[in-house]
Structure 1
Amino acid sequence: MVFLTTKMMQRTALFVTFGGLVTSLITTFIPLWKTMNSDLNEMENWYSGLWHTCLYTEEVGIQCKAYDSVLGLPMDLQISRVLMSVSIGTGGLAVLAAFPGLDGVGMCADQPGVKRGLLIFAGVLSWVSGLTTLAPVSFVAYTTVVEFWDEGFPDVMPRWEYGEAMFSGWFAGLALIIGGTLFFVAVCMGDYDQQPAGVPNSSQVKHRTAQHYLKTEVL
């Protein structure tokens, strides 16, 4: 395909990685990881995130409050805070490392090996960022399901359910992993483009050698 070039693949990888980074950043700070609605008072909606808990009522609107103590948080939220911070850091470094490695960018223009190394490094960082996004979101989702079906809680007590941030977190993690994979694909495409024309690869040489050997045996 005409549009499937190394330069286009590099820019697609950067765009997907940047989109995953922005989505991961939004997921980290919005208080919509969990939501709860009480059957006793349907006018109140509770929302919980990594940094705040919020209460929404029709009379007052939404009111948010930061957690009083980090040590008082559940274990899943403490781990999620650390992993999401790592995800944002590695995702940002991936974007910064990938930009000078793009074809057409003046930085390191006379050093193709450095550009190739930067793209590989960006792909690894993007993978790390994606995994550290998927892990906390999946962990919080697991604990939410376990607590929701816990038979020790009375049926009348409200229970936490999935919030919108859970789905945006899964999307962000997958986007970062796809972006890192596209960086690796772009590197392989660049290596293929740099091969000199007319030079047969090793498999072709072996095939021709085998044919010549068979012809010699027949003679």
Structure 2
Amino acid sequence: MVFLTTKMMQRTALFVTFGGLVTSLITAFIPLWKTMNSELNEVENYYSGLWHMCIFTEEVGVQCKSYESTLALPGDLQVSRVLMLVSIGTGALAVLVAFSAMEGVEVCRGQPGLRRGLLVLSGVLCWVSGITTLAPVSIVAYTTVVEFWDENLPDVVPRWEFGEAMFSGWFGGLALVLGGTLFFVGVCMGDFDNRPPSPPNTPQVMQRAKHYLKTEVL
């Protein structure tokens, strides 16, 4: 295909990675990881995130408050905070490294080895960023499911459920992993394009030439 070139693959990988990075960044800071609606008071909705707890009422609207103590947080939230920060940092670094190694950018012009190494590094960073996004979201989802089906809690006690940020986190993590994979595909395509031409007197070429000549005579 005409459009399936190394440059287009690199730009597609950069676009997918940047989209995953923005999605992960939004997921990390919005207080929509878990939601809860009390049956006793249906006009109040509670929202929980990594950094804030919010409550929505029809009279006042949305009111958010940050957690008072980091050490008092559950273990899954503490681990999720660290992993999401690592994800954002590695994802941003992957975008910067990949942009400097793109074909058409003057930074690595005339240095194909350095360009290839930076693209490989960007792919690895994308995978790290994607995994460190998928891991905290999955951990919080697991704890939410376990607490939701906990039989020791009375039925009248409200339970936390999945928020919108959980699904955006899964989407962002998968986009980052896909972006890293596309970077590796672009590297393989570049290696294929830059492979040395085969000498004309190799046995395979001569055998094919004889075969074609014999076919033409017949």
TM over 0.5: yes
In structure 2, the residue corresponding to 1:20 is in which secondary structure? helix
CA distance in 1 between partners of 2:163 and 2:99 (Å): 34
In structure 2, the residue corresponding to 1:152 is in which secondary structure? coil
In structure 2, give the amino acid aligned to 1:33: W
| Unaligned segments of structure 2, at least 5 residues | 209-218
Report how far residue 199 of structure 1 moved.
Answer: 4.5
Report how far residue 196 of structure 1 moved.
Answer: 2.7
Residue of structure 2 in register with 1:166 after alignment: 166
**What is the percentage of aligned positions where both structures have the same residue?**
76
Residue of structure 1 in register with 2:63 after alignment: 63
Supply the RMSD in Å over aligned alpha carbons. Answer: 1.6
Residue of structure 1 in register with 2:45 after alignment: 45
In structure 2, the residue corresponding to 1:40 is in which secondary structure? coil
Residue of structure 2 in register with 1:186 after alignment: 186
**Could you list the runs of 4 or more consecutive aligned residues of structure 1 that deviate by over 3 angstroms after TM superposition?**
197-200
Report how far residue 18 of structure 1 moved.
Answer: 0.4
In structure 1, the residue corresponding to 2:142 is in which secondary structure? helix
Residue of structure 2 in register with 1:30 after alignment: 30
CA distance in 2 between partners of 1:5 and 1:179 (Å): 16
Residue of structure 1 in register with 2:152 after alignment: 152
In structure 2, give the amino acid aligned to 1:29: F
In structure 2, relative to structure 1, the CA distance for the partners of 1:7 and 1:29 (3 Å cut) is same
Report how far residue 109 of structure 1 moved.
Answer: 0.2
Q: TM-score, normalised by structure 1?
A: 0.91
Residue of structure 1 in register with 2:77 after alignment: 77
Residue of structure 1 in register with 2:130 after alignment: 130
Deviations for 1:132-161, whole angstroms, at most 9, x for unmatched residues? 000000000000000000001000010000
CA distance in 1 between partners of 2:137 and 2:73 (Å): 16
Deviations for 1:109-138, whole angstroms, at most 9, x for unmatched residues? 011100000000000000000000000000
In structure 1, the residue corresponding to 2:196 is in which secondary structure? coil
Q: TM-score, normalised by structure 2?
A: 0.91
Q: How many residues of Structure 1 are paired with residues of Structure 2 in the alignment?
A: 205
In structure 2, relative to structure 1, the CA distance for the partners of 1:20 and 1:199 (3 Å cut) is farther
CA distance in 1 between partners of 2:116 and 2:195 (Å): 15
Residue of structure 1 in register with 2:89 after alignment: 89
Residue of structure 2 in register with 1:217 after alignment: none
CA distance in 1 between partners of 2:9 and 2:18 (Å): 14
In structure 1, the residue corresponding to 2:183 is in which secondary structure? helix
CA distance in 2 between partners of 1:88 and 1:11 (Å): 20
Report how far residue 198 of structure 1 moved.
Answer: 3.9
Residue of structure 1 in register with 2:215 after alignment: none
In structure 1, the residue corresponding to 2:47 is in which secondary structure? strand
Deviations for 1:152-191, whole angstroms, at most 9, x for unmatched residues? 1000010000000000000000000000000000000000
CA distance in 2 between partners of 1:71 and 1:196 (Å): 59
